[in-house]
Amino acid sequence: MAASKLAILSVFLALILSQIRADASVPAEEDEPVKLPRSDGPESSALKIELDQLRAKIHSLKFDSGEKIKELKKKNELIEEEEVIQENSDSISSLQSEIEPLQD
């Protein structure tokens, strides 16, 4: 159980660190349009379509990664709650074992 918790925590931290690194490496001009050579030919329109598709894909990936991070945070919170419950349960068991000899 401890190994699975460690694995989940490692994945969670890796996602957070990769998100931070990805945010840091994105240039500030991200929202500025990319300047394409002026051309009214089919190559220009094909490049514009491809660029729009890539922008949509980037947006989709950002959204998906945000959702995954939220999901991992929820799982991490549940694991922490389970650990607290287990600690409390162990503490109760310990106290009960101390009380039993006193009741005899």
Q: How many residues does the chain have?
A: 104
Return d(Cα 94, Cα 102) in angstroms, integer. 13
pLDDT of residue 91: 96
pLDDT in tens, 51-63: 999 999 999 999 9
pLDDT of residue 43: 80
pLDDT of residue 103: 86
Return d(Cα 78, Cα 80) in angstroms, integer. 5
Q: Alpha helix locations (H) across the chain?
A: 2-25, 42-103
Return d(Cα 63, Cα 15) in angstroms, integer. 14
pLDDT of residue 11: 73
pLDDT of residue 1: 64
Return d(Cα 58, Cα 64) in angstroms, integer. 10
pLDDT in tens, 4-47: 776 776 777 677 767 766 555 555 555 566 565 555 667 889 99
Return d(Cα 102, Cα 99) in angstroms, integer. 5
pLDDT in tens, 88-102: 999 999 999 999 998
User: Cα-atom radius of gyration of the chain, to the nearest Å?
Assistant: 26
